[in-house]
């Protein structure tokens, strides 16, 4: 390398340090600056040898300072590292980690979404004298080095759809998937297929993708990360972050910043720290399996050593996943095991060969293991007040149900079904035969006029059903909102456009069930209204009430807020799970209740949801998610919350694969993470009229995309037109419609196929 | 009136508003009136200005906005609300709000539960059935589903064919409607669907409800009514006789009402008319007793040519034609009965103070509804300015009108087009006919509209129809 | 032929309009913090989603309703003597001086350029149900009218009658009535643009857009 290039390189390293630390570390920066300047001043007077020597000294100094600074990196510094345009990107990885690759998801700007990059690549390994090319599907967000068309790795819904498509191609081809997460979050537009709905689809499909998936996180921004992050092995670069929300976003919420303003740098820094977003944090909490060490101050494209170790790590992770589900491979498995004092370079991975394609049985084991892996996560991030003996008892009861339902539904039913089908067939044949025989006789009998009594008909038309007490109860609901006790008038939000008169609160919130009698606008109602007016009276049996929301990250001030929410609502978490009946059909219901911290989902809510799905599966009941309202994942729980997206989606997947009927009913406002996972993945989603459904609220959309969105952007009818939901229901008909949905989608045998 | 410490908000306009104010004056009660910008020239506004005290007249945005009425009631210190007829008269939610709000007021009408029970035509039918009172064949609740509606219509057609009715017909009406609005006849099942849809969208626009009733249309019939009055105890309802309202416009709007309902003393009917009258009053009283009816109300009946009565509906309000019943009624032998004053009196909680034996009837009454309309053109309303309006006074004549007789008056387009009610009395049928014609001949009613077209009225129609009254 | 330049000059000569803000219904009024001379604006934002400047609050049945400016203008008079009192519907509350906006100027000129179909009688008007749903979903300009077409429902004295359009074929370029509002006989209901006049109308739009400068 000539001196000019080396100088240039040093200048870039200096700029990088300045960018990362900003106002901090002024002394070190000034030192490097002066030394570099001195050298540039003197440069012309020096001989070539002296120049080289001086440069080497300077380079050593840079290395020394960088190593020192490395120890002082804060969480927010890492965020800046990850966002820097000099940060390695997926193209660098393709060039340096894989032996060869072909981009298949478009090229540069000419792609359906340039921020999602797909490539078929291979890794070459030797075993003895033989050379193996091991193909993989590489999928990841491409931030590039600052190119605008990459959209900073913020993937549009169709980009995620493309990713999903190629995961399924990999599944067909029986090759592993390597995903690289380089995203600050998904691009929050609702255009079909819709940000949230598409992520939900990805999660749902990945939950049962039958090839090994290895994910490498560099920048794991919430929902966008989950779209490709549900993996058997999850690695993370040491300078990356994995978080529920950007620190700026969290600060804006914490600092109650509104419209266009920004939270102060200090608050942002504090939030970054509190959210526990670094690789070390995530490894400790169990959400990441292994950290990959980067060079000081983060990997940049010229850190070739790093790419080598990254290559080793992804190979090993893939090998491990494969060997774990393969039948017999003790020696190779041992060879791969991590040992103290042994770095990855010591392993001779290049010369061990593990076949990455899986047999049918191994595929099934792979999926089972994946589910077990995620199911175990975040178990300590909530409070479970059930006494130990009850937990043990619950475990036994569960096992009992397992056995019971195996005999009742799997074993017995499959035989019974075969028998039934056979009987049906015979019956149908017999009918055709009988019709032919009886045909002529019928003609004769028809010719004789039927003797229906005239008096009966008159009676039917004149003497109507009895006037009884039951009819006097109309317009009465089992639960009446407390707002129906206020003597005041309420203005309908559509008054100006629809000419609605002011409504009297006792009418509106009582008899009208919160529906404007002129335009049909639905005012939000309390969740109790639904509990009491949808399900059969007295049929609700709540379970897992002892599972409580906690503050797993020790987020400052959150204990108090949580306490307040618990006191205000009398609930322990925003999720209530219960068994109930609708017209005598038994169902399991999980609700998200808006007044409890905005219906946000954290570890406790996730756990309750998962257990409800399991219960529905065991008891063979239909499973209903009633979303009274949710603002998304609870940010104060950090990744403990985000991880509920894959966890709960996987529970849904298990339930549906077992033959279950999963219905979602949205009310008021439902946004973000839950929608982009366990709610959005339901094939049957309905909304109460006047509700809003979407990925990100108008404020966030404006901030991230710069677009103004129309006020009705998230309205249920828009969601219906986009195909995100399957229908809109009047609140007063919710019970009837739900009952009808159960009958038409579940059939006579309700749920089990 | 024992307790005159009341102020009544008159939640209506026009003729009935004036009648209510007059009744209040008679009873020594205060009152407060409302009006809308379009109505500022109406006689009721003038009367409130001239005879009302302080805080007795307010301009509001609409007669149909309960919030306006209650805001005015509070501001003016009203203690009771009289809804008149139309508008809020049969709105149980309004009645409920009036009596259940923090500043509680008296609703001068039946209690809200009764309005709700009897306001629902189907519920009324069921109540009738439980007392073995006959009702008209038809749908058994408001129909919201097109297929169901069609099925009922088909059944009704078949039923009528079986009964040998030559031209079967089905009536489609807005469940929330009343008073002949939003009703259409269908003769052909193939046309049913389009009529049904039209009524449904009319109902949605006018009443915000898509419910539609489908009934057999009994063609050849007389429309009779029984006037009921009862005090707040609900225990001792009395009737003020029957009325015959069979003479209607093409839009099924009443134009001429006669009390009593039939006159067997001078006309021969093919059935026992006196028995029919006795039956329907008895049925009506039985139902009133059953529900504990506690104000004035009207039971509407259909009587077929073979003398079979069917209950149509109950109107839980004072009706336009109340005056014609009052005209022939005597309490303790005295004339000058005022049913609106009686309504206010019992509404405010006074006991009725007399029973059925104290009520007697004398002579025959006719009520003419004077309307600017063109009977030759399907009774389309005529809009314009009334320039001359006047009549000769007689002791057998009562006039109720909000139209001023001393200045010209522009007919507002927002409301029912009634101009005046003329109530005529005669000692028997032939005398009342003579009086009626005399009145119509003496009446002065002229005007012009912007297009220079002169006023059209139904006076000729009323005159011709006077010959036919009470004949079946 | 329409002389657009002349029309524009005429309007430019008196570009103001006085707006009287009245109480939409009864209630107790309070004026908040506005002062004479304050600049106020109507609803803004791409979809008019940002509400206009609050002028007064009207409380009725314990429900506060904010009365907002519907147009840009300057406050000329506030009836502060009404502060805290119960007012009747239609009482004058505030008076604004309003400088005509581009859209309004355009409206004035279009009324002269388009074929106006007028209300035959004083009544309330609605579009026929199928037309109404079409307008609601894709705007009035999606509707092509032709002579004899059943276009309106005329509602008067609680009676409804269909009303047929008569006039040249064309698209509905402007709608001048609102539901639930009485329209006087002779007032325009819709402005229709025949296809051969479309270029003229577009020219009007361009001219107004370029030649009319809105004043603050």
Query: In this predicted model, what pLDDT tens digit does every residue of C160-173 receive, in sequence order?
Result: 788 899 989 998 98
Nearest Cβ partner of C158 from B37, B71, B416? B416
Same domain assignment for residues C124 and C93: no
DSSP codes joined into one string, B11-74 = ---HHHHHHHHHHHHHHT-EEEEEE-GGGTTSHHHHHHHHH--TT-EEE-S-TT-HHHHHHHHH
- Give percent above pLDDT 90 in chain A: 63
What ipTM is given for this predicted complex?
0.85
Residues in C touching B59 (Cβ below 8 Å) = 26, 88-90
Question: Is residue C4 one of the residues assigned to a domain?
Answer: no
Same domain assignment for residues C127 and C94: no
C86:B71 CB<8 A? yes
Q: Does residue B205 sit at the C interface (CB-CB below 8 Å)?
A: yes
Same domain assignment for residues C96 and C195: no
Question: Is residue C5 one of the residues assigned to a domain?
Answer: no
- Residue B203 is predicted with a pLDDT of 82
Residues in B touching C26 (Cβ below 8 Å) = 58-61, 68, 71-72, 75
The CA-based angle A691-A697-A699, given to 5 degrees, is 140
Question: Is residue C10 one of the residues assigned to a domain?
Answer: no
Question: Is residue C94 one of the residues assigned to a domain?
Answer: yes
Under a CB-based contact definition with an 8 Å cutoff, are residues A674 and A699 in contact? Answer: no
For A310, the enclosing helix (H) or strand (E) is helix A304-325
Question: Is residue C20 one of the residues assigned to a domain?
Answer: yes
Q: How many domains does chain C have?
A: 2
- Residue A454 is predicted with a pLDDT of 56
Same domain assignment for residues C163 and C188: yes
Is B317 catalytic? The answer is yes
- Residue A398 is predicted with a pLDDT of 72
Distance, in angstroms, between B121 CA and closest chain C CA?
21
Which domain-ending residue is among C42, C69, C100?
Answer: C100
- Cα(A720)–Cα(A701) distance, integer angstroms: 20
- A and C: number of Cβ contacts within 8 A: 25
Same domain assignment for residues C42 and C80: yes
* Candidate list B116, B317, B345, B369, residue with the active-site label: B317
Helix (H, G, I), strand (E, B) or coil at A100: strand
Nearest Cβ partner of C47 from A488, A490, A711? A711
Confidence of residue A467 (pLDDT cuts 50, 70, 90): very low
- What is the pLDDT averaged over residues B175-204? 84
Task: Report which of residues A393 and A203 the model is more confident about.
Answer: A203
- Cα(A518)–Cα(B62) distance, integer angstroms: 16
Least reliable range by pLDDT among A373-377, A458-462, B446-450, C65-69: A458-462
For A611, the enclosing helix (H) or strand (E) is helix A603-619
C49:A711 CB<8 A? yes
Q: List the structure tokens of B413.
A: 């387009």
Q: List the structure tokens of B391.
A: 């009549």
Q: Does residue C62 sit at the B interface (CB-CB below 8 Å)?
A: no
Same domain assignment for residues C69 and C120: no
Residues in C touching B36 (Cβ below 8 Å) = 89
Q: Does residue B65 sit at the C interface (CB-CB below 8 Å)?
A: yes
Least reliable range by pLDDT among A104-118, A669-683, A698-712, C64-78: A698-712
| pLDDT tens digits, C108-146 | 888 888 899 998 888 889 898 888 888 888 888 888 899
Name the residue with tokens 């064919």. B161
Distance, in angstroms, between B309 CA and closest chain C CA?
30
- Domains present along chain B, CATH in parentheses: 7-108 (3.40.50.20), 137-216 (3.30.1490.20), 221-466 (3.30.470.20)
| pLDDT tens digits, A397-455 | 777 777 777 776 666 666 776 777 777 777 777 777 777 777 666 666 555 554 555 55
- Cα(B252)–Cα(B177) distance, integer angstroms: 13
Same domain assignment for residues C64 and C26: yes
Least reliable range by pLDDT among A93-97, A373-377, A711-715, C100-104: C100-104
Residues 6+ apart with CB under 8 A from A181: A140, A141, A215, A216, A217, A218, A219, A220, A225, A228, A229, A242
- Give percent above pLDDT 70 in chain B: 99
The b/e string for B280-308 (b: 16+ C-beta within 10 A; e otherwise) is: bbebbbebbeebbbbbbbbbbbbbbeebe
| pLDDT score of A465 more than 50 | no
Under a CB-based contact definition with an 8 Å cutoff, are residues A97 and A325 in contact? Answer: no
Q: Where in chain A do CATH 3.90.226.10 domains reside? A: 85-376, 527-746
| pLDDT score of C44 more than 90 | no
Confidence of residue B64 (pLDDT cuts 50, 70, 90): very high
Residue C74: CATH number of its domain: 2.40.50.100
Question: C94: domain range?
Answer: 15-100
Beta-strand relationship, B30-35 and B57-59: parallel
Mutation site for A-interface testing, chosen from B64, B65, B66, B117 by largest number of A Cβ within 10 Å: B66
Mutation site for A-interface testing, chosen from B125, B168, B176, B210 by largest number of A Cβ within 10 Å: B125
Distance, in angstroms, between B465 CA and closest chain A CA?
33
Confidence of residue B19 (pLDDT cuts 50, 70, 90): very high
Same domain assignment for residues C89 and C113: no
| pLDDT tens digits, A319-337 | 999 998 987 666 666 666 6
- Residue A444 is predicted with a pLDDT of 60
A499:C60 CB<8 A? no
Same domain assignment for residues C60 and C141: no
Classify domain A527-746 at the CATH topology level: 2-enoyl-CoA Hydratase; Chain A, domain 1 (3.90.226)
Distance, in angstroms, between C49 CA and closest chain B CA?
26
Beta carbons within 10 angstroms of residue C23's beta carbon = 23
Task: Report which of residues A542 and A336 the model is more confident about.
Answer: A542
Under a CB-based contact definition with an 8 Å cutoff, are residues A659 and A622 in contact? Answer: no
| pLDDT score of A749 more than 60 | no
Same domain assignment for residues C108 and C96: no
Please determine, looking at this structure, whether the domain spanning A85-376 carries the CATH number 3.30.300.30: no
Beta carbons within 10 angstroms of residue A158's beta carbon = 18
DSSP codes joined into one string, B353-372 = ---GGGEEE-SEEEEEEEE-
- Residue A442 is predicted with a pLDDT of 62
Confidence of residue B389 (pLDDT cuts 50, 70, 90): very high
- What is the pLDDT averaged over residues B336-365? 95
- Residue C54 is predicted with a pLDDT of 95
C65:A491 CB<8 A? yes
| pLDDT tens digits, C12-36 | 888 888 899 999 999 999 998 899 9
Residues written for chain C: 216
Question: Is residue C178 one of the residues assigned to a domain?
Answer: yes
Least reliable range by pLDDT among A280-294, A441-455, A736-750: A441-455
Q: Does residue A47 sit at the B interface (CB-CB below 8 Å)?
A: no
Confidence of residue A463 (pLDDT cuts 50, 70, 90): very low
Residues in A touching B138 (Cβ below 8 Å) = 461
Q: Does residue A11 sit at the B interface (CB-CB below 8 Å)?
A: no
Which domain-ending residue is among C100, C123, C156?
Answer: C100
Nearest Cβ partner of C62 from A487, A708, A711? A487
Question: Is residue C216 one of the residues assigned to a domain?
Answer: no
For B373, the enclosing helix (H) or strand (E) is strand B373-374
Confidence of residue A464 (pLDDT cuts 50, 70, 90): very low
Which domain-ending residue is among C69, C100, C131?
Answer: C100
Same domain assignment for residues C179 and C107: yes
Same domain assignment for residues C62 and C125: no
Question: Is residue C6 one of the residues assigned to a domain?
Answer: no
- Residue A272 is predicted with a pLDDT of 92
- Residue C174 is predicted with a pLDDT of 87
Q: List the structure tokens of B349.
A: 């909680």
- Cα(C203)–Cα(C201) distance, integer angstroms: 5
């Amino acid at each position: 390398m000539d001196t000019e290039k080396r100088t240039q390189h040093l200048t870039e390293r200096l700029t990088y340090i300045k960018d990362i630390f900003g106002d901090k570390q002024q002394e070190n920066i000034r030192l490097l600056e002066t030394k570099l300047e001195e050298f540039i001043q003197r440069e012309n007077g020096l001989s070539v040898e002296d120049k080289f020597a001086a440069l080497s000294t300077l380079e050593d100094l840079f290395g020394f300072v960088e190593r020192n600074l490395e120890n002082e990196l804060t969480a927010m510094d890492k965020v800046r590292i990850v966002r820097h345009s000099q940060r390695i990107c997926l193209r660098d990885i393709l060039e340096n980690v894989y032996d060869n690759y072909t981009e298949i998801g478009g090229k540069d700007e000419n792609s359906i979404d340039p921020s999602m990059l797909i490539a078929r690549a291979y890794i070459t390994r030797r075993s003895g004298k033989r050379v193996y090319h091991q193909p993989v599907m590489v999928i990841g967000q491409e931030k590039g080095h600052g190119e605008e068309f990459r959209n900073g790795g913020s993937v549009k819904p169709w980009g995620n759809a493309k990713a999903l498509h190629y995961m399924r191609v990999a599944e067909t081809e029986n090759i592993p998937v390597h995903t690289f997460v380089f995203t600050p979050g998904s691009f929050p537009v609702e255009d079909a297929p819709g940000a949230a709905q598409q992520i939900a689809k990805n999660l749902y499909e990945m939950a049962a993708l039958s090839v090994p998936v290895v994910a490498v996180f560099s920048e794991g921004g919430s929902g966008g990360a989950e779209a490709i992050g549900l993996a058997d092995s999850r690695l993370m670069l040491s300078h990356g972050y994995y978080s529920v929300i950007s620190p700026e976003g969290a600060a804006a919420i914490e600092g109650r910043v509104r419209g266009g303003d920004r939270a102060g740098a200090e608050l942002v820094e504090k939030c970054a720290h509190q959210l526990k977003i670094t690789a070390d944090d995530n490894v400790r909490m169990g959400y990441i399996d292994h950290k990959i060490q980067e060079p000081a101050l983060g990997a940049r494209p010229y850190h070739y050593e790093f790419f080598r170790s990254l290559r080793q790590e992804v190979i090993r992770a893939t090998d491990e996943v494969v060997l774990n589900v393969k039948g017999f491979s003790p020696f190779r498995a041992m060879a791969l095991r991590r040992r103290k004092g042994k770095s990855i370079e010591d392993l001779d991975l290049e010369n061990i060969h593990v076949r990455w394609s899986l047999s049918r049985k191994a595929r099934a084991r792979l999926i089972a293991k994946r589910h077990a892996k995620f199911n175990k996560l975040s178990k300590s991030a909530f409070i479970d007040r059930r006494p130990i003996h009850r937990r043990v008892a619950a475990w036994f009861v569960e096992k009992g149900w397992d056995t019971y339902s195996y005999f009742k539904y799997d074993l017995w039913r499959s035989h019974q079904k075969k028998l039934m089908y056979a009987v049906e067939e015979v019956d149908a044949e017999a009918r055709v035969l009988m019709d032919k025989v009886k045909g002529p006789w019928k003609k004769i009998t028809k010719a004789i006029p039927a003797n229906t009594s005239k008096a009966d008909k008159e009676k039917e038309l004149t003497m109507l059903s009895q006037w009884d007490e039951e009819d006097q109860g109309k317009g009465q609901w089992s639960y009446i909102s407390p707002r129906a006790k206020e003597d005041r008038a309420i203005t309908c939000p559509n008054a100006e456009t629809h000419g609605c008169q002011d409504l009297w609160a006792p009418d509106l919130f009582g008899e009208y069930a919160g529906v404007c009698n002129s335009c049909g606008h639905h005012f939000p109602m309390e969740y109790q209204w639904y509990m009491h007016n949808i399900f059969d009276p007295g049929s609700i049996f709540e379970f897992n009430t002892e599972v409580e929301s906690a503050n797993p990250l020790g987020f400052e001030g959150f204990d108090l807020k949580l306490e307040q929410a618990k006191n205000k609502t009398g609930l322990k978490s925003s999720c209530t799970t219960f068994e109930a009946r609708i017209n005598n059909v038994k169902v399991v219901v999980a609700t998200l209740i808006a007044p409890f911290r905005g219906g946000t989902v954290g570890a406790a809510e996730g756990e309750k949801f998962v257990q409800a799905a399991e219960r529905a599966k065991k008891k063979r009941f239909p499973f209903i998610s009633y979303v009274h309202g949710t603002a998304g994942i609870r940010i104060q729980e950090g990744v403990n919350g985000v991880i509920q997206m894959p966890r709960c989606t996987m529970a849904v997947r298990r339930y549906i694969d077992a033959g279950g009927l999963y219905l979602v009913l949205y009310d008021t406002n439902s946004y973000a993470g839950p929608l982009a996972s366990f709610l959005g993945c339901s094939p049957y989603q309905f909304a109460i009229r006047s509700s809003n459904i979407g990925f990100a609220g108008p404020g966030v959309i404006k901030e991230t995309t710069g677009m103004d969105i129309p006020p009705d952007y998230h309205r249920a009818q828009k969601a219906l037109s986009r195909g995100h939901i399957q229908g809109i229901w009047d609140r007063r008909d919710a019970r009837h419609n739900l009952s009808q949905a159960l009958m038409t989608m579940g059939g006579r045998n309700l749920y089990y196929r | 009136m024992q307790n005159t410490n009341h102020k009544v908000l008159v939640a209506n306009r026009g003729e009935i508003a004036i009648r209510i104010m007059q009744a209040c004056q008679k009873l020594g009660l205060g009152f407060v009136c409302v009006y809308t910008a379009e109505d500022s020239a109406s006689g009721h506004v003038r009367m409130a200005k001239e005879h009302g005290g302080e805080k007795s007249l307010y301009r509001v945005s609409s007669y149909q906005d309960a919030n306006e009425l209650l805001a005015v009631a509070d501001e003016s210190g009203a203690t009771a609300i009289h809804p008149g007829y139309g508008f809020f008269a049969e709105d149980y939610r309004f009645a409920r709000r009036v009596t259940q709000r923090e500043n509680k007021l008296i609703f001068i009408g039946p209690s809200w539960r009764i309005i709700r029970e009897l306001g629902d035509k189907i519920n009324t039918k069921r109540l009738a059935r439980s007392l073995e009172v006959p009702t008209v064949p038809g749908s058994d609740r408001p129909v919201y589903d097109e297929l169901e509606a069609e099925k009922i219509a088909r059944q009704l057609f078949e039923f009528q064919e079986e009964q040998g009715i030559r031209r079967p017909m089905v009536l489609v009406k807005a469940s929330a409607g009343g008073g002949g609005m939003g009703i259409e006849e269908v003769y052909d099942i193939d046309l049913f669907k389009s009529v049904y849809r039209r009524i449904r969208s009319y109902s949605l626009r006018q009443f915000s409800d898509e419910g539609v009733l489908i009934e057999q249309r009994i063609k050849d019939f007389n429309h009779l009514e029984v006037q009921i009055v009862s005090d707040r105890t609900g225990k001792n309802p009395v009737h003020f006789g029957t009325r015959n309202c069979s003479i209607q416009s093409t839009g099924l709007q009443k134009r001429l009402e006669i009390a009593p309902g039939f006159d067997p003393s001078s006309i021969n009917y093919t059935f026992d008319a006196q028995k029919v009258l006795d039956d329907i009053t008895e049925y009506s009283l039985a139902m009133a007793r059953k529900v504990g009816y506690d104000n004035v109300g009207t039971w509407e009946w259909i009587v077929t040519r073979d003398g079979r009565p069917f209950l149509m509906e109950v109107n839980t309000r004072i009706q336009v034609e109340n005056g014609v019943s009052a005209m022939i009624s005597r309490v303790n032998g005295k004339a000058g009965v005022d049913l609106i004053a009686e309504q206010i009196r019992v509404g405010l909680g006074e006991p009725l103070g007399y029973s059925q034996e104290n009520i007697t009837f004398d002579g025959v009454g006719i009520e003419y509804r004077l309307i600017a309309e063109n009977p030759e053109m399907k009774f389309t309303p005529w809009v314009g300015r009334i320039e001359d309006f006047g009549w000769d006074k007689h002791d057998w004549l009562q006039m109720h009108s909000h139209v001023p007789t001393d200045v010209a008056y522009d007919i507002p387009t927002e409301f029912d087009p009634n101009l005046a009610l003329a109530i005529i009395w005669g000692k028997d049928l032939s005398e009342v006919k003579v009086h009626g014609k005399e009145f119509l001949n003496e009446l002065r009613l002229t005007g012009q509209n912007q297009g220079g077209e002169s006023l059209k009225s139904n006076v000729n129609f009323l005159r011709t129809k006077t010959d036919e009254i009470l004949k079946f | 032929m329409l002389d657009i330049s002349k029309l524009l000059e005429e309007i430019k000569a008196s570009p103001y309009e006085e707006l009287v803000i009245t109480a939409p219904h009864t209630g107790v009024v309070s004026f908040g913090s506005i002062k004479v001379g304050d600049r106020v604006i109507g609803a803004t934002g791409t979809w008019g989603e940002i509400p206009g400047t609050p002028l007064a609050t009207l409380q009725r049945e314990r429900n506060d309703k904010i009365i907002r400016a519907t147009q840009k203008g300057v406050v000329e008079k506030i009836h502060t003597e009404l502060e805290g009192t119960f007012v009747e519907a239609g009482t004058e509350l505030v008076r604004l001086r309003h400088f005509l906006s581009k859209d309004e100027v355009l409206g004035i000129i279009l009324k002269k350029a388009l074929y106006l179909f007028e209300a035959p009688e004083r009544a309330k008007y609605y579009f026929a149900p199928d037309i109404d749903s079409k307008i609601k979903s894709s705007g009035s300009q999606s509707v092509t009218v032709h002579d004899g077409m059943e276009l309106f429902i005329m509602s008067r004295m609680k009676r409804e009658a269909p009303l047929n359009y008569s006039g040249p074929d064309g698209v509905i370029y402007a709608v001048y009535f609102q539901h639930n509002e009485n329209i006087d006989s002779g007032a325009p209901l819709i402005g229709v643009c025949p296809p051969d006049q479309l270029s003229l109308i577009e020219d009007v739009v361009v001219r107004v857009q370029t030649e009319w400068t809105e004043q603050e």
